[in-house]
Structure 1
Amino acid sequence: MDMLSKLTNLFQQALETREPLVNLLDSFVDHWKGITNYYIETTDEYRPVKQTDIPWRLKQMLDILVYEEQQQQVEDTGPCLEYLLQHKLLETLCTLGKAQYPPGMSRQVLLFFSKFLTLIQKPLLHIINVYRPVQKLIRLCGLPNAQTEKEEALFLFTVCSRVNKDPYVLNYILEVNTAPTSKSSSSSSSDEPAAAAGVGFNEGSPMTPDLSGPQATSGLIQVLLHLSQSQSPSPQSRVRQRALESVRLLAALPGEDSGALLAAGSPLCELLAQRLCELYSLIPSTLDPADVQGSPLTQWREQFTQTSEEERPSFPGSDHLTVFLCWLDYCQELLTHAPKTLSVKLAKEIHRQWLSGLLQPQLLQMSEAGILLHTALLSCSVRHTHSAPLLAELVPFLLGSATHPERPAETNTDTHATLRYKLIQHCDHISDEISIATLRLFEELLQKPDRSILGNLMLRNLAQHGYATPTAAGCTGDERHVAGVDALDESDELEEDPFFSDSEFGADEPLLSLPKRQEEPHPSTHTQVSETVNSFLCLVPQEAKSSHQVQGAGYDTYVHDAHKMFKDYTALSLDFGWPATATDGPSPGSEFYEGHFLQVLFDRIARILEQPYELNLQVTSVLSKLAAFPHPHLHEYLLDPYISLTPGARSLFSTLVRVIGELMQRIQHIPEFTEKLVHVRRQLMGLEDESMMDHVVLLRGVIVLEEFCKELAAIAFVKLPMEEQ
């Protein structure tokens, strides 16, 4: 009897559970018939859809589908959803939307699809009677003069969100699968377990994409990038943002299969690079390079924020520059989060179209105005480059890939080597503006986390220790220090110059004395560094110094900055695998060449007394950054005054010594030199008004020289091991 009672209760519960579903289906069908009957009974073809009951009926149908799913098990498909799939309701809606009948129907269809794909949690896009109408509706988006961009952007964002949730359906949405084997809607329920399992692109599986066929002209990627260029007014910039967010969702799909599909089965990479070139080409040629250099770092989402409108730079052409930099940042976000296959393809496409195809001819042109602007734009672009894949393309583009030591007369027909040569030559251009802009470019490069930059520019030439004499190279650090003091005796003229006698310095200024040979055969590390600091601090004679005449211009002001710079560059080069000490010996019989880059920098620093102030600041800025890197050869070659140089070689210190010799000869012919020097320094600090003065270029050069020596002394000091300080 109890058993019979239990069976009766279960049967009653089954009837109570089933009855609402039957009623739901009747209601669902009635609403659909109400929509189709409108087309049979109406006589007014121009009545807007909002004045009909179609929007209300569509909403009721959607509510029924959502309620039905909430009452069903996850694996089951309810009768209302089965009816929608079997009778191809989505196909019919797509056709009605395409016909725009009644007027405004396309907007209602787009909204229905968006809500349907958002609210129904069950995987759907693998079902043929879902993805086919979705594909058709995608083709209806992005048409000229469309009034539904907002709804289109929402629909496409919804599609991409579902693909991001179920990456295995990507090939259906991109339409690269020529023979999909998903079963018809009548058996959709049996498809869902496979969908939930996350079927991948396994070789030989029915879902393996065919990437060999021709691409559609109006696919998902094309439509999204079209909407990303929408000219809708400001409140509707949401269209552009949603389109870009949709592409970002696709590019960030996990797994190399998805990346390979997007890279080879869609025009994503080509279109992104093409858009970058278009935006670069729109930057006006009248743009002031100084404005380019001062443009702040820009993130792509900032163009959609209202606050950024007020904070954004407002100089002629700033809008075009900002849009380009935002797109560059957007491409880099895709590069950072995309699978390797896709990121490599996109970076190479940017290299091919923008760097090689568009930028390189501009850098090699004859017009000085053109070279200046595009060098400034390149420098700004390098500053904005933060993704590893793009940096991996940018560095070989600018510097080539050679790793062997350079030779003075070496020629290379490689395109990138030609560009490298031209850019380094531009650091010593007849136009000071071009020289400054190109030096800034290299300064930006030095701050990027790529070991090949310093390796290409300098370290491959210093690696064999060819700048040091064999005797010094074979000694220990202490022995090389003692032997290297003789390097200060390389110029007989300077030794005999009365301005280099100790009597020129005050007795109460122990730091301002020339470096002397140590009596102890093995001076301590602390002693070596102290002498190195002294060597740079006392290099400029007392009568050529002016910082002590102005408050806040002493050596100590550089120590804090040097600490920060050394810390930053140590962190930057942490993974470069540099040696801790200089151990390589010089190649027998080989002639040392510092390389093209250092040659130009040394030539520039040798002319510091006759160059414009801004140019001198830029040259010394690049050299100080090079000296701050924690590589033993850079430290030795740029900061060790005692190194014994091979015949014909020059170091930074020996170059500065010759500049001082030239300076002391010129001082003798300038009356009231010290007073004029102080006056010019006060002018540069804004403490006095500008006024005409003879020898102003020389005086400013002397001031830069003094500050540079103090900066080098500070860098040498902070690179001393902390326990020795």
Structure 2
Amino acid sequence: MFSRIACAVYNVMDALAPPLPLHEEFSHHWTAIKNFYTNKRSACQLPVELTDIPDHLNQMVCILEQEEGEGETGNGCPCMEYFLQQKILEAMCGLAKADSPTGFKQHVISFASRILSSVKFDLLPHASVWSAVQKLTMMCGEQLASPYEKEEMDFIFFLCNRLMEDPYLFNHFICDTSRRFPQKIRTRQSGSAHQVDLECSKHSTAEAEAPKIDVPLVQSLITFLNSPDHDISSKGNDCLVKCAAAFDEKTVNILVQQTDFCSKIVTFIVSQYHEVQKHCNLQDINDVDFFSVHTGENSGSDVQLSPGKRQILSFVRWVSFFDNLVGAQPQLGESLTMFFTDLFLKSEINAELSDLENNDKILFTTKLISLCIRSIASESLILSFGIFLVGNCKDPELPGCVGHFLKQLLVDRCHEAKLSSQVKLATLQLFEDLLQKPSKEVFESLVLSNLTGRRYYDYLFVEKHAHFSDDEVSCQRKSLYEEFDVSPGSSPVSRTFAPSSIHKILNCFLLLLPDELKSCEESEDSAYDVYIKDAHRQFQQCLLLCDDWNWPNDLCSEYEEVESEVSETSDSETEADATCSFFYEGSFLDMLFCKLENMLQQPYELNLQVTSLISRLALFPHPNLHEYLLNPLIPLVPTARSLFTVLLKLAEDIQIAVQDTQNLKKKLELTRKILLTDEEGCNSFEESNALEAIIVLEEFCKELAAIAFVKYHTSS
């Protein structure tokens, strides 16, 4: 109370007496603060708000701002010179360490933020200032959820923005002491040699010989990541990502090689995953999956989320932050991805996905990984997920041989009769999520490894049937320039993607089902052209994804190689062996074809997912994959099956299954209406499974025709 009266008297006297010069007034305020600590009668146990210290600090900032505004007088900046010479900020840091009186640390941090941000003179490079800022930075990360967390975060936020303007200043905030083993290093020069005295405990000799590198700014940001305050945590995320993008090569090397930065970040992700395991269940992940799809439609629905769902969303948010951090700096991202693969994917997820007993655990983990993949964008992290799940082997697969363990496990999981359809559906969705964000290595391992040799194509059939006029064979017998009369130097038409028999190809898909098995009439605007717009958009997106994959525009000409091998073989049986070699499409395509063949025995949702996955594959612009999936006219070796032959067999099975069905046309129309309008209640017909399979197959054929048509027009 007496201090407030004294302050009031001082203000009155200041109003009556002529004002002091700015530098004298500035020194007066600093002296008053020092006297507070030297006066034994000062009540340091009181909160700082009950003292004059906040007023003195505020006046000091105002004086520095006023002096800088009056800089045109030509008298220089004596207050600023005094501030730097007396090392005032550094002295304040020493007092703030003890936080006495309580709250002084908060005001010092605010004082430093205001000085550095409002004064136009660049103070940070000055030795006494950056030394003090370094100490303040270390203090900001000392305590999790400290009472001054907001002021600390504001100070770190300003500092990050300032350092991003001059990234070289990061080097001044790297020290070779750790907080756990503090060391004071004094260097003095004697003759031509440097002597270094290390003051540390006897037990820290090893640390003195190989001092641990510390980056207090980064350590403070990591502390803020763990803050229970969402705003503080999010601000820390943004700062860390921005700093990572601004780090130079030296700083990145220090972080990667001489600190535990990468392991700390990944360990934090792992700890969040453990929280998800403890507090979340299968219903939570189902609701979150729905929420993530519909979040754009109902942005306020997150208020109704339970703690378990919030925990899952929080984990996915941290994975997204990690993804941004990986993409911010390539070298740092590479190291982070390595730790992520080892500490999270291999150590945590591998055991959960490999579980063979607990269906709920399998389903939960599979859906969680799908959520993670959908939330990331950096190429290195996507590649890490892909290689972990399906490998990156380019060698052709052999039936019955286990290559990549997890890939085979996931494929077999789709076949496993004991597993629920939900597990199969989630596994297929995981494959589709990988294909939505593909990498070349993963795609070749999953799909192309058995197709690039074109062993599915029956060259012997072509030789025996000279009248056979397949477009690809014509392309092999004639040059592109002769076939299309294209002048040299212009872009030839892709014979694979734009065959002259496109109408025959389209009709193969559109006429697969007879009219009596179709659920709608063409006059109802339900022909394949309703899919063309979406197919065009998706194909353009797919072209962008594969733009730098260097895939050929046309099929590799292997016909001449096979023909030369056959010509050297006199025995006809050997000739047949050379040309009609065994073909295996690979475990992934084999699984998809088997799921297609079994559509009559599978739930509607599973059939939709299978056809969606195959449609996604058909969009990719690889000539062998396109030919294998979308050209029903090619001759196949006896051991091969293609997408069209599978569909043909399915259509035959459907006709047999519904041949005795009464009022088939009306039942199909009613089933279609129920499925498309999403009406409550399910189809109660005895043949409902077959009716739903017919409708899925009917729409699937239209979608395949639309994709083939779009690729034809894009390539012609």
Would you call these one fold, judging by a TM-score over 0.5?
A: yes
Q: Which moved more, 1:103-112 or 1:524-533?
A: 524-533
Query: What is the 5 A alignment of 1:272-671?
Result: 272-283=265-276, 284-296=280-292, 314=305, 317-338=308-329, 340-366=330-356, 367-412=358-403, 417-430=404-417, 431-471=420-460, 479-481=469-471, 528-548=501-521, 551-585=524-558, 588=578, 590-671=581-662
The 3 A distance-change label for structure 1 pair 134 and 104 is same
The 3 A distance-change label for structure 1 pair 482 and 374 is closer
Q: Which moved more, 1:375-384 or 1:56-65?
A: 56-65
**Residue 691 of structure 1: CA displacement?**
4.8
Q: Which moved more, 1:572-581 or 1:541-550?
A: 541-550
Partner of 1:37: 35
- The answer to whether the Cα contact below 8 Å between 1:547 and 1:554 also exists between their aligned partners in 2 is no
Within 2, Cα distance between the matches of 1:181 and 1:328? Answer: 42
Percent identity, please. 33
Q: Which moved more, 1:264-273 or 1:576-585?
A: 264-273
SS of corresponding position for 1:648: coil
**Residue 591 of structure 1: CA displacement?**
2.4
Within 2, Cα distance between the matches of 1:472 and 1:123? Answer: 81
**Residue 355 of structure 1: CA displacement?**
1.6
Within 1, Cα distance between the matches of 2:368 and 2:342? Answer: 18
Q: Which moved more, 1:324-333 or 1:58-67?
A: 58-67
**Residue 550 of structure 1: CA displacement?**
9.4
The answer to whether 1:692 aligns with 2:692 is no
Q: Which moved more, 1:349-358 or 1:615-624?
A: 349-358
Partner of 2:205: none
The answer to whether 1:152 aligns with 2:160 is no
SS of corresponding position for 2:507: helix
- The answer to whether the Cα contact below 8 Å between 1:171 and 1:261 also exists between their aligned partners in 2 is no
**Residue 230 of structure 1: CA displacement?**
2.4
1:718 aligned to which of 702, 710, 715? 710
- The answer to whether the Cα contact below 8 Å between 1:473 and 1:585 also exists between their aligned partners in 2 is no
1:250 aligned to which of 243, 248, 252? 243
Structure 2: gaps (5+ residues)? 1-19, 178-182, 189-207, 475-494, 563-577
The 3 A distance-change label for structure 1 pair 150 and 623 is same
Partner of 2:161: 161
**Residue 421 of structure 1: CA displacement?**
1.3
- The answer to whether the Cα contact below 8 Å between 1:406 and 1:595 also exists between their aligned partners in 2 is yes
The residue identity in structure 2 corresponding to 1:251 is A
Normalised TM-score (structure 2): 0.79
The 3 A distance-change label for structure 1 pair 611 and 405 is same
Within 2, Cα distance between the matches of 1:477 and 1:215? Answer: 76
- The answer to whether the Cα contact below 8 Å between 1:123 and 1:166 also exists between their aligned partners in 2 is no
Within 1, Cα distance between the matches of 2:654 and 2:451? Answer: 29
The 3 A distance-change label for structure 1 pair 623 and 77 is farther
Corresponding residue pairs, total: 623
Within 1, Cα distance between the matches of 2:611 and 2:30? Answer: 77
**Residue 409 of structure 1: CA displacement?**
3.0
Partner of 2:261: 268
2:225 aligned to which of 224, 228, 247? 228
Partner of 2:696: 704
The 3 A distance-change label for structure 1 pair 179 and 315 is closer
Partner of 2:194: none
Partner of 1:90: 89
Q: Which moved more, 1:345-354 or 1:542-551?
A: 542-551
Within 2, Cα distance between the matches of 1:212 and 1:248? Answer: 29
Within 1, Cα distance between the matches of 2:452 and 2:506? Answer: 25
The 3 A distance-change label for structure 1 pair 68 and 651 is same
- The answer to whether the Cα contact below 8 Å between 2:497 and 2:711 also exists between their aligned partners in 1 is no
CA displacement, residues 398-457 of structure 1 (integer Å, 9 cap, x when unaligned):
221211111113334xxxx21111122223233211111111111111121522232111
Within 2, Cα distance between the matches of 1:723 and 1:106? Answer: 68
**Residue 396 of structure 1: CA displacement?**
1.3
The 3 A distance-change label for structure 1 pair 473 and 88 is farther
The residue identity in structure 1 corresponding to 2:412 is Q
**Residue 180 of structure 1: CA displacement?**
8.7
Within 2, Cα distance between the matches of 1:149 and 1:482? Answer: 69
Within 1, Cα distance between the matches of 2:172 and 2:33? Answer: 29
The residue identity in structure 1 corresponding to 2:29 is H
The residue identity in structure 1 corresponding to 2:289 is Q
The residue identity in structure 1 corresponding to 2:283 is L
The residue identity in structure 2 corresponding to 1:344 is E
**Residue 342 of structure 1: CA displacement?**
1.2
The answer to whether 1:53 aligns with 2:52 is yes
The 3 A distance-change label for structure 1 pair 138 and 173 is same
SS of corresponding position for 2:449: helix
- The answer to whether the Cα contact below 8 Å between 1:364 and 1:419 also exists between their aligned partners in 2 is yes
Within 1, Cα distance between the matches of 2:380 and 2:294? Answer: 19
Within 2, Cα distance between the matches of 1:350 and 1:532? Answer: 46
Normalised TM-score (structure 1): 0.78
Q: What RMSD in Å do the two structures reach over aligned CA positions?
A: 3.6
Structure 1: gaps (5+ residues)? 1-21, 184-209, 485-521
**Residue 248 of structure 1: CA displacement?**
2.6
